[in-house]
Amino acid sequence: MRIALTGSTGFVGSNVAKVLQLRGHEVVGLVRTKASLPWETKLVDFQNQDSIQSALENIDAVVHCAIANDFNKLMQDRPFAFDAYVGMTSRVVRAAVASVSKPIFISSDWVMDGTSHQTLETDPGNPVNIYGFLKAMGEQVVRDLAPDSGATCRIGGVMGFHQLKDEGPRSQDVGFGYFVTTLVRELTAKKQFAVWGGDKVNKIATPSLAAEIGAQVSLIAEKNAVGTFHLVGDDAISRMDLAKMVCEVFELDTNLLIETDPPVAELFPAPVPVDTSLSNAATKQALGVGPTSLRTLLMALRKEYESGTPSPVTLA
């Protein structure tokens, strides 16, 4: 297939692009500025639906991964936040429908309010902060504009390595983002690692592997699957228990782990959902995916760490 991506230079997007290529698909990165990437690129004005639609000519599916990563700016500039998420998603999905390309939207476990455990795919969400609200609005855009072709993929606690850069934009955040790779890097260097705890962090999630997300996105495109999918691992886990399991799989020293509250400067400027774990049972049935235990995903991550090549569990 010929599959376009927004956000192909980002952490999740670069992994999805790389795995799609490994699956034999042609990848086209939709970019704002000229970039030399390991896949074809097309310059797009994301403020203009016609520009997006033109770039989607002869494209079978478009994966919308792009996000605005500055969460403080989302709070301070609401018009920017709404357009960067909901407005852009609307333009991408409308362009996809007009060009008969399948829209695949990458959403988040933060659409949930954090009060339920391993929430089902049928739950529409109940966000407690602006990021979750914007992602939930994006999901509704897909349901409204592409009811017969659109797919929404909720992800969370994404583990993996950026395919274009040495590091991600943050070393750790109050979600599970960038947590595992930072832990591996610090403990490999024999440095102490602080696992953030307390009342202002996301305490439980179902971590996913970026490469595995790419593999399951590939299945969604190939099967023309429609609806909401949870591209997460099988196991819900706390931050500290995840850190300890990482140490087991990567053979690192658990004595270097400590638990602290996050630095004040790193706190999210709004409430944070406590338990964002998602069920993946319906997703696995729809896509024909087998077990993806957290330990198996971590072993695949170690293989990637040692080989430099994304190693999805599905389609391996």
Query: What confidence tens digit (pLDDT) does each residue in 25-37 have?
Result: 999 999 999 989 9
pLDDT-based confidence at residue 168 (cuts at 50, 70, 90):
low
State residue 177's pLDDT score: 83
CATH code of the domain containing 176: 3.40.50.720
Mean pLDDT value across the chain: 95
Query: What confidence tens digit (pLDDT) does each residue in 54-90 have?
Result: 999 999 999 999 998 888 888 899 999 999 999 999 9
Spatial separation of the C-alpha atoms in residues 114 and 110, rounded to whole Å:
8
Does 174 map to a domain? yes
Does 312 map to a domain? no
Spatial separation of the C-alpha atoms in residues 197 and 259, rounded to whole Å:
6
Domain count, the chain: 1
Spatial separation of the C-alpha atoms in residues 300 and 30, rounded to whole Å:
29
276 Cβ contact list (under 8 Å, min separation 6): 109, 110, 112, 114, 156, 175, 202, 204, 205, 206
Residue 131 has phi, psi (to 5 degrees) of: -65, -50
Of 316 and 137, more confident: 137
Does 314 map to a domain? no
Does 290 map to a domain? yes
Q: Is the pLDDT of residue 253 over 80?
A: yes
Does 164 map to a domain? yes
- Which residue range(s) make up the domain with 46? 2-307
Does 316 map to a domain? no
pLDDT-based confidence at residue 256 (cuts at 50, 70, 90):
very high
Read off the amino acid at residue 36. Answer: S
Of 163 and 71, more confident: 163
Does 315 map to a domain? no
State residue 71's pLDDT score: 80
